[in-house]
Copies of this chain bind each other. A is one copy, B any other.
Amino acid sequence: MPDAADPAPMNARRKFRREGEERRRQDLIDATLDSVAEHGLRGATVRTIALRAGVTAGLIRHYFPGKEDLLQEAYAALMGRMTEQAKAALVMDDASPRQRLAAFVTANLNAPIIDQRVFSLWATFLGRAGADPTLARAHREGYLGFRNEVEAVVAEVLAAERRKPDAAELRRHAIAINAIIDGLWIEGCLAGEMFSQGELAAIGIKAVEAELGLGPLE
């Protein structure tokens, strides 16, 4: 019995679909972030990225001038999503300033912001900030944006307590609170199983309230 039906021509070209430009670019950026998170910048080759995006390597150069540009855009996308998520926890209006601050801390110290994959990306890219001024500036802008949000909430909280902090004191509080959240965020991402559910958030809230000199809620 000869080989059954094998009608596929030996040189069959791969089938493909044309996607919208925006969609393809997003897919490539997502595939890039996945590759970096999994294998680091080393393993994020055009072929790996293309495979993950379900296309062939050559296509990347149709959408990006070079691989470096793709990485650049991927980092920008990552930063955008991170700050967006973080700020989203602040939009609840129908709450007291103090409640909003606590909710902010809680949101930043639980999933999905506590996430090992995001941390890997954050660390991998920031490791290049010392040598790449573009990355350094991007971080600084994101950091200052975040800190200003913190400062605004702190001002509201203290105002509600009828305290009148000056600008320097406000700045100090914002820097310290930002550090508390960052430090706990890192530990949660790196060793989340060392902490019980909600423990990091509880520690964070207590630390923040101590920093602001807030007594227990009456």
Residue ranges of A at the interface with B (Cβ–Cβ < 8 Å):
37-42, 116-117, 119-131, 136, 139-140, 143, 172, 175-176, 178-184, 186-187, 190-191, 194-195, 200, 203-204, 206-207, 210-211, 213
Contact = CB atoms under 8 A, between A and B. Distances in A.
Nearest to A36: B127
User: How many monomers of this chain does the complex have?
Assistant: 2
Most buried by B among A136, A200, A203: A203
B182 A186 contact: yes
Contact of A191 (B42, B125, B140, B211): B140
B116 A120 contact: no
A203 B117 contact: no
- Majority DSSP secondary structure for residues of A touching B: helix
Contacts of A39: 131
B179 A175 contact: no
Given A130-B119, A206-B172, A210-B213, A187 B143 contact: yes
A179 B179 contact: yes
Contact of A120 (B38, B131, B172, B213): B131
A117 B130 contact: yes
Contacts of A190: 126, 129, 136, 139-140, 143
B116 A130 contact: yes
A207 to B, nearest CB: 4
Given A42-B42, A176-B203, 11 more contacts: A41-B41, A123-B127, A124-B127, A136-B191, A175-B184, A176-B184, A178-B183, A179-B204, A182-B186, A206-B211, A210-B213
Contacts of A129: 120, 123, 190
Contact of A127 (B120, B176, B187, B213): B120
Most buried by B among A140, A172, A195, A211: A211
Contacts of A213: 210
